[in-house]
Amino acid sequence: MFEAYEQITRLKNTIEQFSSFIINASTEKDLDEIFALAVDTCINLTGSDGATVYLKEVVDKEEKLVIKATKNLSVNFEFYLGYSIPISAISLCGYTALHKKPVVISDTLNLPENHEFRQFKFFDKSLHYVTINTISVPVFDFENDLLGVVQVINKKAKPSIKIDENNASLLTINYTETDIKIVLAVAALLGLIIDRFRTYEKNELSISNTQKMLYNVFESIKKSISTLNDILINGQQKFIEALQIENKEKLYSLKEGIELFKKEYELTKITETITTIAYIKNKDTDTKIVNTLHEVISTEIRPYDIPVKVKEDEYVIFFHNVDIIKAGMIAKRIERKTLEKLRLNDISVSTLNFTWSFYELKPDEEKSIEEILCFLQKKVNESDGETLK
């Protein structure tokens, strides 16, 4: 009798929580908030330690899964919010997206070597955590096109316990058929909501574009030929001003630069992408030269390269997907741009007293980033680096 009462209570709680999720998600206008609601609902209703919502987006001209919302009750996984993962069998969620079918695994540690699923261990290793079991389900739109993936991990024996790499096997239990249906239901609702949001955005854009077109036609008729040139010039100026978003020049501190690079480097291991680290020693003490170099480093490199100020006269640049030869060419360009800006400002300089050292970092590198930076710093300070010509 008591057992039946417990089952009825659990069922009532499940219905109430899921109904609350449906109501809140259906009325919420912020998509990120809806993703966060989905994560909380999955964790609460399946007894999971963590849950993640991935959305399919184009990253560097390639479709990937991007972490849009995530939560883990044992470790701080939100550090990886915004990270992207390839749509491939390299991970369980990637496999789910690639084959567009749910994946349920009860024991990831004992999968045979030739198993079609591969566990993505990067997050576990970086957080000293172990994923034992998981449910990954695809999210589809109304036309059955893939939008993303919802994943839950580590169903716990008790909600209050914390899991780590030492106790995970003991404290997790298998997911049930009900858990699978709950995650599938959450994913289905997310698909409908995302589809609704995107349809609304398309309609809004279409209306806006139509209004602009009609306005332009009306203006072209209304304005006389004599003032047309002024209109075009004025419009061009406004367009350029709109494009010139405030330039936030920034050189990272050594600590935040290393932290940012470590995050980027872990992902390069997956994509097997090289990185070249350039260390610069500026032996010129002239303030104008120092400021100009600072400006050039801040503005002339690509958005995904990481510029770091080590000391007043020393800098580091982490060049993503660049080999050591190309890094040397970029270094020459930085020197050339620095000279051009100095001369443009009527500062007479014939040569620059910069010393460079480079290190090509491969995905399987065993040295730590701190060791590499010490090595490069030593080279430039002992004048064993390169003086570019």
Same domain, residue pair 52 and 174 = yes
- Please check whether residue 105 lies inside any domain of the structure: yes
**Structure token digits, residue 38:** 């989905």
Same domain, residue pair 256 and 108 = no
Q: Looking at this protein, which amino acid is placed at residue 317?
A: I
How far is it, in rounded angstroms, from Cα 21 to Cα 3? 27
What pLDDT, in 10s, does the model give residues 48-76?
Answer: 999 999 999 999 889 999 999 999 999 88
Same domain, residue pair 292 and 188 = no
Same domain, residue pair 46 and 168 = yes
Chain centroid to Cα 363, Å, comes to: 18
Tell me what pLDDT residue 169 has.
86
Q: How many angstroms separate the first and last alpha carbons of the chain? A: 87
Same domain, residue pair 34 and 133 = yes
Nearest alpha-carbon partner for 179 in 218, 197, 209, 152:
152
Same domain, residue pair 41 and 180 = yes
Is 389 a residue whose pLDDT tops 70?
no
Listed residues 180, 197, 214: the one ending a domain = 197
Is 2 a residue whose pLDDT tops 70?
no
Tell me what pLDDT residue 388 has.
62
Cβ atoms of residues 85 and 65 within 8 Å: yes
Same domain, residue pair 41 and 177 = yes
- 360-375: average pLDDT: 87
Q: What is the pTM of this model?
A: 0.51
Tell me what pLDDT residue 117 has.
61
C-alpha dihedral, 196 to 209 to 61 to 56, nearest 10°: -10
b/e map of 322-334 (b: 16 or more CB within 10 Å)?
beeeebbebbeeb
- Please check whether residue 242 lies inside any domain of the structure: no
Instruction: Residue 353: count other Cβ atoms within 10 Å of its Cβ.
Output: 13
What pLDDT, in 10s, does the model give residues 243-278?
Answer: 333 334 578 888 888 888 887 777 677 667 788 999
* Domain boundaries, position 78: 2-197
Listed residues 165, 197, 229: the one ending a domain = 197
- 136-162: average pLDDT: 91
What pLDDT, in 10s, does the model give residues 190-210?
Answer: 988 888 888 776 655 545 554
Cβ atoms of residues 339 and 349 within 8 Å: yes
Nearest alpha-carbon partner for 41 in 15, 6, 67:
15
**Structure token digits, residue 23:** 């109501």
- Please check whether residue 132 lies inside any domain of the structure: yes
Q: State the CATH number of the domain containing residue 190.
A: 3.30.450.40
**Structure token digits, residue 16:** 């109430």
Same domain, residue pair 294 and 371 = yes
Listed residues 152, 167, 197: the one ending a domain = 197
Total of domains in the chain: 2
Same domain, residue pair 191 and 330 = no
3-state secondary structure of 121: coil
Same domain, residue pair 7 and 154 = yes
**Structure token digits, residue 103:** 């994946």
How far is it, in rounded angstroms, from Cα 304 to Cα 317? 11
All residues at 6 or more sequence positions from 365 whose CB lies less than 8 Å from its CB, including other chains:
372
How far is it, in rounded angstroms, from Cα 252 to Cα 308? 5
Q: Does residue 124 or residue 54 have the better pLDDT?
A: 54
